[in-house]
Structure 1
């Protein structure tokens, strides 16, 4: 958990505000393009309120962190942040997390975004143009021209990189809702590229179907999905590490270090790691975001809840540390693999 200071609030559209942030302690945060922050939102509701917002800044181009918040109808967190946050305010956040990240910035990219789903996509786009060597095509769907977040920034980037960046807008006010035929025509010339998709559920489903039908393999199709958090990921969970009782030996690889711990029976892996001072990545703690995903190298576990890993992920050994309970005497996992 950390504190960030709001340096500036930028009104992108009537419904979307960008918060320009800096760590309150003055330290520099490392993050990867496409990752997100989890913000604590003041609330008197039991369990508090926390939401995940993608970083729209680039770690190699922008001097400060930026997240963009778009109002949603009856959305407590988004409306509170847009209505109340001002320059000089401080917010509690969890460190940058998420796996919606390109493995190779020199690759060619096809980016498909709908509405505020452009926020992590913009981070990837700017970083690839600044630190990579490939070509980037963005297909960006919105209700109308006034709803286009980052409109001026995209125009400037296209002028700065005319030979490498292509931006195609789909406006519902002009073309109607995105269609399978229309998206297929736009995406087909770029089906050999790394594809990143983010936006409302219906847009994501349509874009994924189009790309799959075009033959884009699973390993080149990346999707970012957020769900509203029900609990408080900032809450401290007490794990009795020193109590006698049944426990599993867990060996953890993280950032090149190897740690061996006793894992008390019935506890979740992430809770054990955090209680032991191991700074494992996480965000929602509800099995809904994959920020805490790691690879099971040895032993067995069971997951209490899982909304993000599919059968292929599980077969490849991926697990969610926030939901994993040990079912074998020895477990070995890696956050690096």
Structure 2
């Protein structure tokens, strides 16, 4: 059967050098509408002589509300095949196969004040969110942006232009390791405490995310108001056609109520079958991408019932305690009614 995530071919309009080790890739859409929300990402198929291709996630730095071309930022990593290939080989006029925009790292409203944290190339989805709030919404934005040094600041000119365009609503707090050392949780906590009513979005390397999380806790803030974007390298091939799903029913079923895009379904969920596989077998277009628990596209909330995840590379204990689940890894773990909302 075919899934809802058909790939697209996008032509590269331009490749712009951002820093010594990062480029922006701007796309033409070839008449296709790239419908995305602020903070979402694309999965790019990158050619490889050894494996044919590899799939990697790159956040959109553009805003769907500013009339600008879709754009991702790729920062070179020392041992990263895909990032090095894209930085070294991609030119204007080339075509890339991509999966439709995915991800839930996006604000529920553009009319709320936000506190944004970014480090290095983690600015990519943060920039998309900031531009969207400033352009389409009414919220104010404070951005804490950490980098190694001034030469490492991605999109520095764009950030300055946004500050000039929205002087009363947008403030950037630069943190340079060369001058200030690594970001320290107790200092970040003071920033959090100074803006007590704001939700936060953060993206960056693991140690930076840990520092922000510690600061948030130290400031006494609810974990549910801190949103983290965590990427892992995809081990599978999301571009491959999904195989037919064989249901396993020998172990029995559990009653299931699932809501997808506001539409409710009452079903009998076979034990031993992941929720994404089961819903796809019923012709229900549920959000998914990698089906390996690595991208977060299938993130949902379980509000009732006993469930378990076969694997989890993304969610933290606090997320799970709040009912967050990766539906591609989710199986029923009891006999009671299970309720899940996408």
After TM superposition, the score normalised by the length of structure 1 is 0.88
| Contact 2:234/2:295 (<8 A) preserved | no
User: 1:306 and 1:2 mapped to 2: Cα distance?
Assistant: 25
- Gaps spanning 5+ residues in structure 1: where? none
Q: Quote the offset at 1:23 in angstroms.
A: 3.6
Question: Quick one: which of 107, 114, 117 aligns to 2:112?
Answer: 107
Q: Which residue of 1 aligns with 2:140?
A: 135
Cα deviation code 1:226-265 (max 9, x no counterpart): 1112222222332345899777475543223345677666
Matched, 1:86 2:91: yes
Instruction: Within 5 Å, give how 1:290-305 maps onto structure 2.
Output: 290-296=296-302, 300-305=306-311
Question: Quick one: which of 248, 253, 258 aligns to 2:259?
Answer: 253
Question: Quick one: which of 295, 299, 305 aligns to 1:289?
Answer: 295
Choose 143-152 or 310-319, whichever is displaced more: 310-319
Q: Which residue of 1 aligns with 2:205?
A: 200
User: 1:180 and 1:302 mapped to 2: Cα distance?
Assistant: 33
| Contact 1:191/1:211 (<8 A) preserved | no
User: 1:185 and 1:333 mapped to 2: Cα distance?
Assistant: 37
Instruction: Within 5 Å, give how 1:90-169 maps onto structure 2.
Output: 90-169=95-174
Secondary structure of 1:205 counterpart? helix
| Contact 1:7/1:21 (<8 A) preserved | yes
Secondary structure of 1:202 counterpart? helix
| Contact 2:233/2:294 (<8 A) preserved | no
| Contact 2:269/2:278 (<8 A) preserved | yes
| Contact 1:36/1:52 (<8 A) preserved | yes
Q: Which residue of 1 aligns with 2:195?
A: 190
Matched, 1:334 2:341: yes
| Contact 2:245/2:277 (<8 A) preserved | no
Q: Which residue of 2 aligns with 1:319?
A: 325
Choose 138-147 or 302-311, whichever is displaced more: 302-311
Cα deviation code 1:210-238 (max 9, x no counterpart): 12211221121111111112222222332
| Contact 1:114/1:141 (<8 A) preserved | yes
Q: Quote the offset at 1:116 in angstroms.
A: 0.4
After TM superposition, the score normalised by the length of structure 2 is 0.87
Paired residues, number: 334
Secondary structure of 1:182 counterpart? helix
Question: Quick one: which of 226, 237, 254 aligns to 2:231?
Answer: 226
- Gaps spanning 5+ residues in structure 2: where? 1-5
Instruction: Within 5 Å, give how 1:34-45 maps onto structure 2.
Output: 34-45=39-50
In structure 2, the CA distance between the partners of 1:332 and 1:175, relative to structure 1 (3 Å rule), is closer
